[in-house]
Amino acid sequence: MARTKLSEAEIQAALAELPGWAVQDGKLHKAFKFDSFAAAIGWMVSVAVYADKNDHHPEWRNVYSRVWVDLWTHDLAAISGRDIDLARHMEKLAGSQ
């Protein structure tokens, strides 16, 4: 998906298929909970590899088995298709933990 600013309708349509995600302070936000610290960190490393390959990086914070994620496109100061793509990939990887 493109690095262009999404409309409110496009964001809402994407959110309908991203359980647990919401717009918070203008960013795509979700609080993930894993079974353990190891599971949380393992997921973060897998996400980091994908994020770096795509040159699109999350803002996130980890405490034990929880990871709070905020996605937005700094270059645009907005949510873009690349944030949706990263959120979808995070979901895909979280399902395989």
Return residues touching ligand H2B (CB under 6 A): 55-57, 73-75
Q: Given the complex with ligand H2B, which of 40 and 73 has the nearer CB atom?
A: 73
Q: Given the complex with ligand H2B, which of 33 and 57 has the nearer CB atom?
A: 57
Q: How far is the CB of 85 from ligand H2B (least distance, A)?
A: 11
Within 8 A by CB and 6+ apart from 28, the residues are: 11, 18, 21, 22, 69, 70, 71, 72, 79, 83, 84, 87
Q: Given the complex with ligand H2B, which of 40 and 87 has the nearer CB atom?
A: 87
Query: What CA–CA distance (Å, rounded) separates 73 from 60?
Result: 14
